[in-house]
Structure 1
Amino acid sequence: MKYANNIAAIDELSASEGVFTTAQAQRLGISRNALSHACKVGRLERVAHGAYRLSGAPSSETDELAAIWKLTASTAFSWERQAKWDGVAVGGSTAAWLLGIGDFHLSPYRIYAPERINSKIESARFGVRNVDEGDMAWMGGLPVTRAERTLADLCLDCEDPSLVEGAFRDAAAQGLIDSTKLGSLLDELGESKRRAALLEPLARALSASDQKGQS
């Protein structure tokens, strides 16, 4: 592909994806050498190994997170993954930060997948967990667990119960919690004694909230 065509293709990919992967670029005929050259001349910035963004384009706190999520299925375009749910979701403490609930940090990035993901990315913490499509929503192009699922996963990730309770209060104050849905989710996820014990602080918070609402 000629240099001018590479520039046009890179601009097109950047416009549709924002942060994009090497594999996505190759689907449009952009070679690794072309990406390397674009970085050298300052047209592209490397966000993570195998992921780039256009230099001068507005950056976001979630660019690295977006890169890591896209690298979990590096050849697929975002619209393809939105059209067919693959089960890879941003959750736990990272989802809580994105939702604005509790006192958690954006990174290390917590990402769940139905199967084990082998990665050497130090800023990411991958976990094997099944997340139904109905338990997540797309936020800024990323699949983020909804408040109910986020709270449950915080418990299963052994986060401090007091922090989980604080996140519950924040979510309730923002109207993010469907009590019936959360109750069903607790029953579904608390299938073992160990999991039920981990979820107990959230179950107590939900029960107290329901009783307060009835009084």
Structure 2
Amino acid sequence: MNRTEQLAVLSSAAADQWGLVTTAQAKELGLNAVQLLRLTEAGLLENVSRGVYLLSASGMPQHLDIKAAWLRLHPGEFAWNRPPGHPMSGVVSHASACRLHELGDIPAPDVEITVPRRRTTNEPFVHLRTAPLDPEEITVVDGLPVTTAGRTITDLLRAKADGGHVGGVIAEAERRGLITVDDLAEHVQPYARRYGLGATATGSDLIGHLVTQAGESLRRQEVDRASQEGFNAAVHLLAEHPDLATALAHSRPRTAREASDETAALLGMRLSDLDRLPRPHPITTGRAAVLKALRDIDQQLRKPGPTPTELMRQLRQPNPDLAEALRTLRHLDPAVLRSLQQAGVLSPGMHKALEQAATTTSSRQLPPPDASMSTQDDDHGDDHLGGEDTD
């Protein structure tokens, strides 16, 4: 083969291997070491790792060190003949898997690859780990077999990686939907004591501990926090503008435009003025904030009250947000509460909670519930305190 033919043969194979080819693969294609050397001297190949060449025209691939190390584990076999989990090639794992998944900022000075049985390597920057992997614990990233995000996190905990770094990986994986906290918690619980938690700590406790240590928060926590802030904003809005609650209680289904116009009229504003309202919620402003507040209060009031056991657990825990929301609700005009009750958006449990709160704090009384509501109250039992549950 002349030089052009040699290069064409190598290019065909390297095209499906990120522009890379091993010495053993080149031999399978009919090229010897001398020919590879001459192509390198001509600038057509670049020796990027021991026994691994890059076609210069291909450009430098991302994560070159990982790809070269993975090819070297079974140098005579082409990448397309290695299914994920191939026993001779292994699976990229631990911190190297974080690099490929682009999770966190955990240090990864070595290339870490998990193999099913013990092997050795002369490469100083390649760390082979021995462990079995189930097929569902393997995914493919940029053509490489890689442990899934959940398995990667479990491996890091088993290897005693820094808790703050692992917490950052968990938070980012959860935000991107690569893991679910509940599923992960089942697998990481055995490592709770290793990270300073008590013998009774759960997997969820460990996840929360690591994420906090990383200075991060989970998406689920952020959504819960935003929902609570949105509900508090809705309560205060109704306290300041009771006509809005009355309108909500008696409103018919209407278009978004009609709802905007009605809201503006109730506030005595021009529609454009709604956009200049103070921000009551971290993700909404202006006109959208007012409508969002109305939807929030409607949804919260329709939620069922907690069970007595759950209620007592909540009451034993300090919750400034819930306390502030209840204090504001206590000062709503009785006519507003009556409108909400009659329209069915004020649950019997919430009604009785407000009635009790009003009795202990002022002389105002809510109108008694009708017969159908009394029957429902009997079913709730001690749930009459559920007005403090804003979920």
TM-score bin, normalised by smaller chain: 0.7 to 0.9
Q: Cα deviation per residue 1:102-124 (whole Å; 9 max; x = unaligned)?
A: 22134311111112222121222
Question: 1:49 offset after TM fit, Å?
Answer: 0.5
TM-score, normalized by length of structure 1? 0.83
3-state SS of paired residue (2:16): helix
Q: Which has the larger displacement, 161-170 or 84-93? A: 84-93
Question: 1:48, 1:67 within 8 Å by CA — same for their partners in 2?
Answer: yes
- Matched residue, 1:147: 149
Correspondent of 2:177 among 172, 175, 178:
175
For residues 194 and 145 of structure 2, the distance between their equivalents in structure 1, rounded to whole angstroms, comes to 25
Which residue does the alignment assign to 2:55?
Answer: 54
Pairs within 5 Å for 1:1-215: 1-17=1-17, 18-82=19-83, 85-86=86-87, 88-179=90-181, 181-183=183-185, 185-186=187-188, 197-198=193-194, 203=203, 204-206=205-207
Q: Spell out, residue by residue over 1:141-188, the C-alpha distance to the aligned partner (whole angstroms, 9 max, x if none).
A: 11111110010011112111222122111111111103454345447x
More helix by share: 2
Question: Secondary structure of 2:6's partner?
Answer: helix
> What is the identity, as a one-letter code, of the residue corresponding to 1:153?
D
Query: What is the identity, as a one-letter code, of the residue corresponding to 1:6?
Result: Q
Higher gyration radius (CA): 2
Quickly say closer, same or farther: Cα 1:146–1:36, change in 2 above 3 A: same
Structure 2: tracts of 5 or more residues without a match = 210-217, 225-390
Question: How many Å separate the matches in 1 of 2:90 and 2:34?
Answer: 30
Structure-2 change in CA distance of 1:166 and 1:131 (3 Å): same
SS of residue in 2 equivalent to 1:82: coil
Structure with the bigger percentage of strand: 1
Cα 1:173–1:50 shift into 2, 3 Å: same
Against the structure 1 CA distance between its residues 131 and 199, is the aligned structure 2 distance closer, same or farther, given a 3 Å change threshold?
farther
Amino acid of the residue matched to residue 22 of structure 2?
Answer: T
Closer/same/farther in 2, CA of residues 27 and 200 from structure 1, 3 Å limit: farther
> Are residues 56 and 128 of structure 1, via their aligned partners in 2, closer, same or farther at CA, if it must alter by over 3 Å?
same
Distance 2:86 2:136 in 1: 10
SS of 1:79's partner is helix
**Other structure's SS at 2:46 match:** strand
The residue type paired with residue 37 of structure 2 is S
The alpha carbon displacement at 1:84 in A equals 6.8
Give the residue type in structure 1 aligned to 2:56: S
Change (3 A) 1:143 1:199: farther
User: Which residue pairs with 2:329 in the alignment?
Assistant: none
1:8-53: CA deviation from partner (whole Å, max 9, x where unpaired): 2112122222212111111111222221221111110011111111
SS of the equivalent of 1:64 reads: helix
- Quick check: 24-33 or 69-78, which moved more? 24-33
Q: Which has the larger displacement, 81-90 or 133-142?
A: 81-90
The 3-state SS of whatever aligns with 1:163 is helix
Give the secondary structure class of the aligned counterpart of 1:182.
helix
The aligned amino acid for 2:82 is R
Which one has more relative contact order, counting CA pairs under 8 Å at least 6 apart? 1
Maintained 8 Å contact 1:110/1:125? yes
In 2 relative to 1, CA 181–29 (structure 1 residues): closer, same or farther, beyond 3 Å? Answer: farther
> What is the number of residues matched between the two proteins?
209
CA distance in 1, matches of 2:162, 2:169: 11
Q: Secondary structure at the match of 2:112?
A: strand
Contact conserved, 1:21 with 1:75, CA < 8 A, in 2? yes
1:166 maps to a residue whose letter is G
With 24-33 and 77-86 compared, the bigger mean Cα shift is at 77-86
Shift of 1:5: 2.7
